[in-house]
Amino acid sequence: MVSTGGTGPHVGVLALQGDVREHARLLEGLGAHVSSVRRPGELEGLDALVLPGGESTVIDRLARLTGLQQPLREAIAGGLPVLGTCAGLILLAERLQDGGPGQETLGGLDVTVRRNAFGRQSESFETDLVVPALEGPPVRAAFIRAPLVDELGPAARPLAALPDGRVVAARQGRVLGLAFHPESTGETRFHELFLELVRQR
């Protein structure tokens, strides 16, 4: 993916692994200027960052190999707005349960996240979520080897939950973490909310 010429906020998509193109297409459709982030220098000049779904252990390992881990941590800690979906939520978590051997996170979201909380790929599912922060009908959410927010710290608040009360999305200021894939079901409202938060920065 190359940089696009949208006139809206400049949003980088971490492009080490995962569903990068799906996020890029959605953001471009909403008017954002989108570019890939594979090296530390590509974080410069961004208004916001998306951490896509994929394999969180692979993204973690590649972030360290490319020298991106610490610059990402510093950018997030410095207030860069971030949207993380599925593996992206895992990366944003301050605390991780059931992580892979030696797996580390970037932090930025005061939550405890459990990896692969819903089981294997064959146990993936879609469901409708009522999200009070979003206007309109319930959100159609795809859970693919999804994580779960096991615990919210005092700095974070829930954004969406399953009917049984289990939290699947959280927000801390301009950092949003979703356990599901809105970009896979054609749902644009989370990205619209994110871009509005970016514009308010």
Question: For 125-133, which contacts have Cβ atoms below 8 Å and span 24 or more sequence positions?
Answer: 126/185, 127/162, 129/160, 129/161, 129/162, 129/168, 129/169, 129/180, 130/160, 131/159, 131/160, 131/169, 131/189, 133/159, 133/171, 133/193
- Taking each continuous run of H as one helix and of E as one strand, the counts in the chain are 5, 12
Mean pLDDT of 138-158: 95
Provide the pairing of β-strand 139-143 with 167-172: unpaired
Please report the pLDDT score of residue 37 as a whole number: 98
Domains of the chain (ranges plus CATH)? Answer: 10-200 (3.40.50.880)
Q: Which residue has the higher pLDDT, 2 or 198?
A: 198
Enter the tokens of residue 97. 């349960």
pLDDT digit string (tens) for 44-103?
999 999 999 999 999 999 999 999 999 999 999 999 999 999 999 999 999 999 898 999
In sequence order, which ranges of the chain are alpha helices (DSSP H)?
20-29, 56-65, 69-77, 87-92, 189-200
Classify residue 87 as left (phi > 0), alpha (psi -120 to 50) or beta.
alpha
pLDDT digit string (tens) for 72-81?
999 999 999 9
Tokens 């982030």 locate to 37
Residue percentage of the chain with pLDDT more than 90: 86
Return phi, psi of residue 39, to 5°.
-135, 155
- Does residue 109 surpass a pLDDT of 60? yes
What is the spatial distance between Cα 155 and Cα 2, in angstroms, rounded to a whole number? 35
Neighbours of 78 (CB within 10 A): 7
Annotated catalytic residues are 86, 181, 183
